[in-house]
Amino acid sequence: MALNLSERLGRSRRSKQSSAVVARKTTPSQVLVQIEEVGVGSYWATDADGQLIYLSSRAIQSLGEGAKALIGSDITTIFGEVDLDDRDQVATRPLGFSLVSKSKIDDHIVKITLPTSPEGDKCTTRWWRISGRPYHDHEGSFGGYRGNCTDITGEFQQQQDINRQSQYDELTGLANRRRLNGRLKTLLSSFQASGRSAALMMLDLDRFKAVNDTMGHPAGDELLKQVADRLRSLVKDRGEVGRLGGDEFQIILPDMDDRGELGELAGRIIQMISQPYSINGRRAIIGTSVGIAIAPFDGLESDDLNGAVDLALYAAKEGGRGTFRFYTAQLKEEASKGALLQEDLHDALEQGELVLNYQPLVDPNTNIVKCFEALMRWTTAEGVAISPSVFIPVAEQSDLIIKLGNWALGQACRDAAKWPDDIRIAVNVSAKQFMNADFCRCVAKALKNSGLAPERLELEITESVFVGEVGSVDTTFKALKDMGVRLALDDFGTGYSSLGYLKRAPFDKIKIDQSFVRGCTLSGDTNPAIISAIVALAGALNMQTVAEGVEAMDELELVKQRGADLVQGYIFSKALSQKEVVTKFEQGELTFEPSGPARYRSDRQTVFRKIGLIHEDHYYDVMLRNISKSGARIEGLDNVPSGTQAVLDLGSGQLAVCTVENTGKGSQGVSFEVPLVSDGADGLVTTRRISPYTLAEAGMPLSALGPGAYTMPKQIAGKVGLPKFVQLPIGSEAA
């Protein structure tokens, strides 16, 4: 196609006065023709419909021969916007805006992709900086654009490389903090417009420092690379993985808000990261904790979301070994409580606020007790009982745990020395305490001072001691075995589940974690198979097995049948005081009779919380009395027939569709249509939440919604119509 500027622009000859200074006898169009012939300028032009009608020869040269085929195409399809990743190199206003409003175009960078093969399967990409002016004919009607262009491909690509480098982590090749922040900001603002959601996960490696310290920095670097590979292969194209620095990673997951799915993904990440690593022929094991926050529910802006995910991660770490945690509004309060706890705990031992209680481990075939586990109890001066699952992790943050642990060791040995000779005592030992150089000496001292026979003492340690470098662990094991003490592997299957060390470490006993036992009798559950496998494995390695946390008769039957040697759980007894234990023995009693519910019911938590029930056009206040994954009990309504469909408003946008299963005076049991999921700790949450965007549509300004703290306003539940049920006074009103 021959293109001649003067032909194409013929109509412009009679146009308004040209401002250019042109020598006599040479018309402006002749000058243009000459410029074109000399080949110095690059020009383009469109017609009124936005179709490309002209490219100067130099412009064609820049694109290659294929460029001629562009003539006649819409320029919005030719002049593409640069990729999102390269946006910070260019002006942000899209070209389309200028074209639609027929306004001028100044130095806009566009991306032109052209096929280089006839089949169109190979392409070349060039970047141009273009400027253009709308052209109006003498009658003033718009006649298209006239513009020039500069090929900036070289400098653009160079800039792109520099940008890439500043956006990616050199060591792992993952996105760096800068890129993650940028991505999150852009994503959230564009998602806000379209009402979409996005999840943010934050990971912190557990005990990475130990690897770094004991195996050296190059090994630490290698470990980080392997962690990055594992994360990439898990997340795939569902989101972007990045490294914030150190041993902190972040994952942005667009369009993910299902807490069931997110919890599963987090669980898989934890499991995958906890598999052993081979680094220059040496093995290392680490773990990870994961915090999760979801926009728009937990925060609309990236700062809010980052703050929320930090808190969630902090809570996950507090929760101990390899766990995940969703952000909830309560986390903020809990965080400040933890700090206070640490102060009080320091004095607790001196003030005599700590005691040990003893829970029996029973042979399920004879009901005879074989051992007791020492469990620490803390009652503060104000009389508040604080659970060890709360204060032990706090103590583990400092060396306080060593002091507490050694005290427990001494006290337990002294107490056990007063029991019959064939009854053992099991004492929990924290990883930090175990690693402490002084540990073996403390054990020896506890035995000597109490006169307890070494084979009566059993030390319960968790898989977390196998983290980092393993040499010193082996030495400690050997020293303890030489002393004649027994070793038990606690909470087996929860943390760094790797069977490798089982072969090497001289354990006498494996404790199957409660999470495999609880609910193992539910149909379709795979836990019975896991229990069988652990029992078989332990048998092959000449170790005993203990099933922990047995509460119901059917669970007892199952673990017995699957071959567990010992059973520990509420089914036989909770932890007893030393006085109770001694009294029992003085009466010559060695057995515990099992007693408990016939069948396991999914964990029911007792609560006393005001929530809402939505039925047809009415919003009722009800009191939540207990809640499990599958259902809840509520109080405060009368005349509610069984089979009624309703929605429970559990707060923070959590709506659960439910059916009334049984109904009594002022109280109903309901079952959920979609089961609740764990929040990573003991809490239960709905998989999805009603979006603040929906609330905004219903007239509530987004800015009025605090992060994660918004509640379902009654007016959105429906116009308050005539109630079908009788609302009774609830809570303090009832009193």
Of the residues 247, 491, 551, 679, which one makes contact with Ca ion according to CB under 5 A: 491
**Residue closer to Ca ion, measured from CB, 279 or 375:** 375
Q: Which has the closest alpha carbon to 295: 186, 204, 168?
A: 186
Burial group, residue 633, by CB count within 10 angstroms (0-12, 13-18, 19+): buried
**Alpha carbon separation from 718 to 647, 659, 692, 713 (Å, rounded):** 12, 19, 16, 10
The minimum distance between CB 504 and ligand C2E, in angstroms, equals 23
551 counts as binding Ca ion under rule CB under 5 A: no
Tokens of 181: 């922040």
Using the contact rule CB under 5 A, the part of the chain among 15-23, 448-456, 482-490, 651-659 near Ca ion is 482-490
Residues at the contact surface with ligand C2E, assessed by CB under 6 A? 359, 374-376, 387-389, 392, 405, 408, 428, 430, 490-491, 549-551, 568-570, 575
Using rule CB under 5 A, residue 460 touches Ca ion: yes
Please say which residue, 188 or 512, places its beta carbon nearer to ligand C2E: 512
Q: Which stretch binds Ca ion (CB under 5 A): 5-13, 177-185, 358-366, 485-493?
A: 485-493
* Secondary structure of residue 652 in the 3-state scheme: coil
CB under 5 A: which stretch of 359-367, 424-432, 701-709, 716-724 binds Ca ion? 424-432
Of 571 and 648, which CB lies nearer to ligand C2E in the complex structure? 571
Q: Does 463 bind Ca ion (CB under 5 A)?
A: no
Residue closer to Ca ion by CB (options 202, 465) is: 465
Partner interacting with residue 263 (select from ligand C2E, Ca ion, none; CB below 5-8 Å by kind): none
Q: 77 contacts which partner out of Ca ion, ligand C2E, none, CB within 5 to 8 A by kind? A: none
Gyration radius of the chain over CA positions = 35
**Binding segment toward Ca ion, per CB under 5 A, in 51-59, 182-190, 421-429, 450-458:** 421-429
Alpha helices, H only, 322-416: 331-348, 388-396, 400-416
Q: What is the separation, in whole angstroms, between the first and last Cα of the chain?
A: 91
The entry of ligand C2E, Ca ion, none that residue 387 binds, CB within 5 to 8 Å by partner kind: ligand C2E
- Which of ligand C2E, Ca ion, none binds 405 (CB below 5-8 Å, type-dependent)? ligand C2E
Distance, in Å, from the CA atom of 397 to the CA atom of 401, rounded to the nearest integer, reads: 8
Distance CA 620, CA 610 (A): 10
**Residue 369 or 695: which CB sits closer to Ca ion?**
369
Binding status of residue 490 toward Ca ion by CB under 5 A: yes
For residue 127, count CB atoms less than 10 angstroms from its CB and return exposed for 0-12, middle for 13-18, buried for 19 or more.
Answer: buried
With CB cut-offs between 5 and 8 Å by kind, which of Ca ion, ligand C2E, none does residue 167 bind?
none
Select from ligand C2E, Ca ion, none the partner in contact with residue 723, using the beta carbon and a kind-dependent cut-off of 5 to 8 Å.
Answer: none
The conformation of residue 339, written as its DSSP 8-state character, comes to H
Question: Please, what is the minimum distance in Å from the beta carbon of residue 373 to Ca ion?
Answer: 6
The answer to whether 315 and 390 have CB atoms below 8 angstroms apart is no
Q: What is the DSSP letter of 40?
A: -
Q: Which is nearer to ligand C2E, 607 or 700 (CB)?
A: 607
Q: What are phi and psi of 22, to 5 degrees?
A: -125, 135
Closer CB to Ca ion, 389 or 602, in the complex: 389
Stretch touching Ca ion by CB under 5 A, among 426-434, 500-508, 627-635, 688-696: 426-434
Looking at residue 648, the DSSP 8-state letter turns out to be E
> In angstroms, what is the minimal distance from the CB of 567 to Ca ion?
13
Does 298 participate in binding Ca ion (rule CB under 5 A)? no
650 binds, among ligand C2E, Ca ion, none (CB under 5 to 8 A by kind): none
Q: Which one of Ca ion, ligand C2E, none interacts with residue 459, CB within 5 to 8 A by kind? A: none
What letters, b where the CB count within 10 A reaches 16 and e where it falls short, cover 486-509?
bbbbbbbbbbbeeeebbeebebbb
Examine residue 428 and tell whether it contacts Ca ion (CB under 5 A). yes
Rounded distance between C-alpha atoms, residue 137 and residue 14, angstroms: 9
The strand ranges marked E within 165-259 are: 198-206, 240-245, 248-254
589, 369 Cβ separation under 8 angstroms? no
Q: Hey, what long-range contacts does 272-275 have (CB within 8 A, 24 or more apart)?
A: 272/230, 272/234, 273/203, 273/205, 273/227, 273/230, 273/231, 274/322, 274/495, 274/496, 274/497, 274/498, 275/498
- Binding partner of residue 575 among ligand C2E, Ca ion, none, CB cut-off 5 to 8 Å per kind: ligand C2E
**Total residues contacting Ca ion (rule CB under 5 A)?**
4
Partner from Ca ion, ligand C2E, none binding residue 169, C-beta < 5-8 Å depending on class = none
Q: Which is nearer to ligand C2E, 505 or 576 (CB)?
A: 576
Minimum CB separation from Ca ion for residue 171, in Å? 37
> In angstroms, what is the minimal distance from the CB of 445 to Ca ion?
22
| Shortest distance in whole angstroms from residue 392 CB to ligand C2E | 5
Q: Which does 653 bind (CB under 5 to 8 A by kind): ligand C2E, Ca ion, none?
A: none
**Contact call for residues 455 and 486 (beta carbons, < 8 A):** yes
Alpha carbon distance 650, 603 (integer Å) = 18
Please identify, among the stretches 61-69, 283-291, 360-368, 458-466, the one whose residues bind Ca ion according to the rule CB under 5 A. 458-466
**Interacting partner of 302 out of ligand C2E, Ca ion, none (Cβ under 5 to 8 A depending on kind):** none
| DSSP result, 185-202 | HHHHHHHHHHT--EEEEE
DSSP element (H, E) containing 38: helix 28-38
Closest distance to ligand C2E from the beta carbon of 426 (Å): 9
Q: Which is nearer to ligand C2E, 600 or 725 (CB)?
A: 600
Residues 325, 291: contact at Cβ < 8 Å?
Answer: yes
Check: CB of residue 358 under 8 Å from CB of residue 581.
Answer: yes
Identity of the residue, 125 or 389, whose beta carbon is nearer to ligand C2E in the bound complex:
389
Q: Which residue in the block uniquely carries the two structure tokens 């040499």?
A: 471
Residue 598 DSSP code: S
Nearer to Ca ion, 374 or 452 (CB): 374
* Residue 549 contact, options Ca ion, ligand C2E, none, Cβ 5-8 Å cut-off depending on partner type: ligand C2E
| Cβ closest to ligand C2E, residue 247 vs residue 490 | 490
The entry of Ca ion, ligand C2E, none near residue 692 (CB within 5 to 8 angstroms by kind) is: none
* 359 interacts with Ca ion by CB under 5 A: no
Q: How far apart are CA 185 and CA 92, in angstroms?
A: 15
Q: What share of the chain is helix, strand, coil (3-state, %, to 5)?
A: 40, 25, 35
- The minimum distance between CB 389 and ligand C2E, in angstroms, equals 4
State the minimum distance, in angstroms, from the CB of residue 417 to Ca ion. 21
Decide whether 184 or 550 has the Cβ nearer to ligand C2E: 550
In one-letter notation, the amino acid at residue 297 is F
* Nearer to Ca ion among residue 223 and residue 427 (C-beta): 427
Q: Which is nearer to ligand C2E, 345 or 623 (CB)?
A: 345
Question: Is the Cβ of residue 86 or residue 460 nearer to ligand C2E in the bound state?
Answer: 460
Q: Which of 80, 97, 10 is nearest to 45 (CA)?
A: 10
Query: What is the per-residue DSSP string for 467-520?
Result: SS--HHHHHHHHHHHHHT-EEEEEEETSSS--SHHHHHS--SEEEE-HHHHTTT
Report, in Å, the least distance between residue 552 CB and ligand C2E.
Answer: 9
- Asked if 270 contacts 264 with a C-beta cutoff of 8 angstroms, the reply is no
Which region, judged by CB under 5 A, interacts with Ca ion, from 229-237, 238-246, 283-291, 452-460? 452-460
Q: What's the closest the beta carbon of residue 528 comes to ligand C2E, in angstroms?
A: 17
Q: Rounded distance, CA 127 to CA 125, Å?
A: 7
Residue 236's identity, in one-letter code, is K
CB-nearer residue toward ligand C2E: 5 or 375: 375
Which positions touch Ca ion (CB under 5 A)?
428, 460, 490-491
